Each structure stands twice: as C-alpha cells, then as structure tokens.
Amino acid sequence: MQSPSHDDLGVTRCGSLDLRWGERTYVMGVVNVAPDSFSGDGLNDHEAAVAQGHRLVEEGADIIDVGGESTRPDFTPVTAEEEIRRVVPVVERLASELPVPVSIDTCKAAVAREAVAAGARMINDVWGLKRDPELASVAAESGAALVVTQNQRGAQFDDLLPELIADLNRSVEMALRSGVEWRNIIVDPGVGFGKTVRQNLEIVRRLSEMKCLGRPILLGTSRKSFIGFVLDLPVDQRLEGTSATVALGIANGADVVRVHDVGHMVRVVRMGDAVVRGWQGEDK
C-alpha cells in the first residue's frame, strides 16, 4: 500500500476539532476513572472526573482521554460492564460540556460502542486491535478517530523499531480492512507496554523512523516507569523527565502527546513547536 508522506497526512475530523497534522502538536489530557491507575491520579467519583476534565481543558488540553481500566503491568482486569459503569457517565458529561473532543481509552468494543454513543469522538486502543478486532468496526461505523498502539506484552522483539513498525502496520491494515478511513488512524509506539527501559528510550530517540507508516504519531511517556528508573524518582516526581521526553518526541516527529500534567506540558509543546515547526508570532 502506498502511504502518503508525513507532510501529507490529511485532516482528521474529531468532533469539533480538525486535527491538521503538521501545523502543531496536539495535547491529550488524561482522565483516569480507574482507582488503580499507575500514575496515582485514578478517580472513583464521576463528579471529580468531570471536574478534572474541565480543569485540563482550562490548562490547554486539545483532547480529553477517559479510561476506566488500569494499564499498569500488574493491573486487575475489569469486565466490560464495570468499565462502562465507570466511564460512560463521565464521557457523556464531558462530551456535552467541553469545547474539545473526548476520547475513550479502551480495548473492548462493547465499551467503545457505549462511549461513542455517549459522545466520544476518538477510540484509543492500547492493544492495537489485537485483543478485540471488533473495535475497528465501531470506529468505522461511527466515524471516530482510532489510535492503534503497539503493545509488546507477551512478546519480545529482537530488532525493536523494524518489528514495532511492522506490528503497527498490521494494526493499521486491520483497521483499513474494517472500513476505518485512512485519515482517521493514528499510531502510537506504546512506550511502557512490555518494553524495557532501554527500548523505551530507543523509541523516543528513533521516533522519526515511524514516519514511514504515513500516519500521525501519538506519544505517551507521561510519568512512566522508564523515567522513574532513569532518574530514580517516584511517579509524582517525574515532571522534568516527562518534559524532556515530550520535547525530544516533538523534535523527532510526535503529532500528539498524551500527558497528565497538562498545564506544564502545554508550555513544553509550545516551545518545542516554536523550535521544530517555526515561530508564528511577531519577531523581536
């Protein structure tokens, strides 16, 4: 299949937002409705989750990503019914109250279907359609944007980037076969999902190689364990480490960054874009 260049990725319509790839880096803010979230920001209360979504938009988030199941290595799986109970009321409120689109972070088609019906305009699948291929049909039927993530749990790559890219390409092909529009697919290398510290660092360093997929790149490094290992810091002290990976990610081709500390990262993104994409303000 002939892929367009990274300079010709089209425009992804995501609810009220046109994602015009290449013009700037978009910021996805995280709202976790999972009490065992690895980042320590999981919420049990729907009202608190809605309030957090509003706060992240005030801080500059372009997209709000709502998740109801932890993705930490030792997480306790939840049923689709429980996940729906956690996330759908939050998605419904945020979709009706916020000026930015809402994304649903799930690997279950049943959850995605309910969330899209409640107003979600993006599906963020951390298993890249490998756990539940029916997710692609939900995206195709609804017109929602679809993030496919490379998840290495249960597998081991010998040649990291080529094998990671090939695996992501398989996810993209699955989405296309199910009818998802090319312009609606976003790829994520899956930092932290079964990778070692060195592999995660290598992904950030070599992110530009993923441009061969011809799709926008989402990078999620926020507060992740590899930052803690490098800096020997707990999850609540990884702001500077996250900032470094976000800045380097932008320099290497990231189009969206998924973050917890939105206010801080919006500044990092703005500065990174000024250097990488060019300063659009008045020269002094």
pLDDT computed for residue 76 by the predictor: 74
CA 65, CA 26: separation in Å to the nearest integer?
Answer: 13
Number of domains in the chain: 1
Average pLDDT of span 164-172: 97
| CA 113 to each of CA 53, 120, 122, 282: distance values in angstroms, whole numbers, following the listed order | 21, 9, 11, 45
Indicate the pLDDT class of residue 156, thresholds 50, 70 and 90. confident
Q: Is residue 248 part of a domain?
A: yes
258 is catalytic: yes
Q: Is residue 16 part of a domain?
A: no
- Say which amino acid occupies 131: R
Average pLDDT of span 34-46: 64
With b for 16 or more beta-carbon neighbours within 10 A and e for fewer, the 8-25 pattern comes to: ebbebbbbebebebeebb
The domain that contains 36 carries what CATH number?
3.20.20.20
From 258, 270, 277, 284, active-site residue? 258
Average pLDDT of span 1-22: 77
Closest CA to 184 of 221, 135, 249, 131: 135
Average pLDDT, the chain: 92
pLDDT computed for residue 231 by the predictor: 98
177-206 residue pLDDT tens: 999 999 999 999 999 999 999 999 999 999
Q: In whole angstroms, what separates CA 44 from the centre of its chain?
A: 22
| CA 21 to each of CA 4, 114, 115: distance values in angstroms, whole numbers, following the listed order | 12, 28, 25
Indicate the pLDDT class of residue 72, thresholds 50, 70 and 90. low
pLDDT computed for residue 280 by the predictor: 82
Percent of residues, the chain, with pLDDT higher than 90: 83
Spell out the residues 6+ positions from residue 58 whose beta carbon is closer than 8 angstroms to its own.
Answer: none
Percent of residues, the chain, with pLDDT higher than 70: 93
Q: Is residue 3 part of a domain?
A: no
Domain that holds residue 202: 22-276
Q: Is residue 12 part of a domain?
A: no
Q: Is residue 1 part of a domain?
A: no
**Residue 153: CA atoms inside 13 Å, Cβ hemisphere, count?**
16
Indicate the pLDDT class of residue 77, thresholds 50, 70 and 90. confident
Average pLDDT of span 87-113: 97
43 pLDDT higher than 80: no
Q: Is residue 15 part of a domain?
A: no
| CA 40 to each of CA 34, 36, 46, 109: distance values in angstroms, whole numbers, following the listed order | 10, 7, 17, 26
38 pLDDT higher than 70: no
The H or E element spanning position 257 is strand 256-259
Average pLDDT of span 215-244: 97
Bridge partners (DSSP) listed for residue 258: 28
Average pLDDT of span 48-53: 95
DSSP-assigned letter for residue 211:
G
Indicate the pLDDT class of residue 34, thresholds 50, 70 and 90. confident
212 or 282, greater pLDDT:
212
pLDDT computed for residue 37 by the predictor: 52
211 is catalytic: no
CA 245, CA 138: separation in Å to the nearest integer?
Answer: 32
From 224, 238, 267, 277, active-site residue? 224
pLDDT computed for residue 36 by the predictor: 55
Average pLDDT of span 161-168: 96
pLDDT computed for residue 16 by the predictor: 86
User: In degrees rounded to 5, what are phi and psi of residue 8?
Assistant: -135, 65
pLDDT computed for residue 73 by the predictor: 65
Is this structure's pTM higher than 0.75?
Answer: yes
pLDDT computed for residue 41 by the predictor: 56
User: In degrees rounded to 5, what are phi and psi of residue 186?
Assistant: -125, 140
Q: Is residue 234 part of a domain?
A: yes
- Say which amino acid occupies 143: G
Q: Is residue 39 part of a domain?
A: yes
216 pLDDT higher than 80: yes
pLDDT computed for residue 157 by the predictor: 85
